[in-house]
Amino acid sequence: MTDSRGDSGAEEMEVVEDELGAHVSVAGGVEHAPGRARDIHSINLQLFTKQPNRWAEPEFTEERVGDFSRARTAGRIRTAGSHDSYLINLASPRPDLWERSLASFTAELSRCAALGLDFLVTHPGNATDGDTESGIARNAEGVTRALEAVEGSTRVLLEITAGSGTSVGGSMEGLADILEGIPEPARSRVGVCFDTCHAYSAGYDLVGDYEGVWDEFEDRLGFERLGLFHLNDSQHPFGSRKDRHEHIGEGSLGEEPFRRIMTDPRFSAIPKVLETPKGDDMVTLDRRNLARLRSYRG
């Protein structure tokens, strides 16, 4: 096995080759992300290809793409993906913001394709005029146009949101409507990212009605669309419509929903990444959360 030391300079450590991972830092360049995944005992990762709160769009040189590819191979990274910019709003009724969002989303998808990433997570946008139906149609058009412009195998994953404000992605019905608005063959490259904190805050009771939640998912979306879990506990109560992540088992969801997900045979092969709070020592905290999830398997 290759040396698993990342930027921390830590000694060789055991890496667990399962489906668990975390969002990791790209400080110094995306090529450092695979080493940071190894530092937390993982072979799966999510990253940002740009600063998520800025419109500036970086262009990756062939050298940087090559460095990332070599680091991914050396780290035996199984699954790697990106999360798009928080500024993107493909449901916006403002033509200028929609066009800017489309350009940014397309550039993001292009970087993902260049890096050979497996997925791109995107938050469905906000219909700030209150016209949800039109917002869903705009979101579907934006995703379609980006996929038509960028070839490759990167899969776009629509992330369920906490449902606050005018979000068009705070329900399985809304996600299904966006998917329905994306024609084939583009639709075949689109799936769903299920964030446990977001879903619980949006009113999907993973604590009190676990099977009911997944029955609805199968009915409205189909398990073949499930491409990724974001495993996050919540700092707010059920149905709060608030998005604030907490460490696994330390928030309002508690341990049981995570225990059930980790032992549910339907989800054993689905990549699962943490977006839990990083604090001042992200390596230690990510290791702790991942170890807790692994312990639920018994």
pLDDT digits (tens, 9 = 90+) for 247-262: 999 999 999 999 999 9
Predicted TM-score (pTM) of this structure: 0.95
| Kind of pairing between the strands at 245-246 and 233-234 | antiparallel
User: Could you tell me if 227 and 157 are in contact, meaning their C-beta atoms sit under 8 angstroms apart?
Assistant: yes
**In whole angstroms, what is the distance from residue 283 CA to residue 289 CA?**
10
Examine the pLDDT at 4 and tell me if it is beyond 70. no
Examine the pLDDT at 5 and tell me if it is beyond 80. no
**In whole angstroms, what is the distance from residue 15 CA to residue 30 CA?**
20
Mean pLDDT of the chain: 95
Q: What percent of the chain is predicted at pLDDT more than 90?
A: 94
pLDDT range class, residue 13, cuts 50, 70, 90? low
pLDDT in tens, 16-41: 999 999 999 999 999 999 999 999 99
Q: Phi and psi (nearest 5°) for 184?
A: -75, 150
The two structure tokens encoding residue 44? 């799966």
**In whole angstroms, what is the distance from residue 151 CA to residue 137 CA?**
22
Examine the pLDDT at 10 and tell me if it is beyond 90. no
**CATH superfamily, domain at 20-279:** Divalent-metal-dependent TIM barrel enzymes (3.20.20.150)
Residue 21 Cα distances to 38, 60, 277, angstroms: 9, 24, 14
Examine the pLDDT at 204 and tell me if it is beyond 90. yes
Examine the pLDDT at 121 and tell me if it is beyond 60. yes
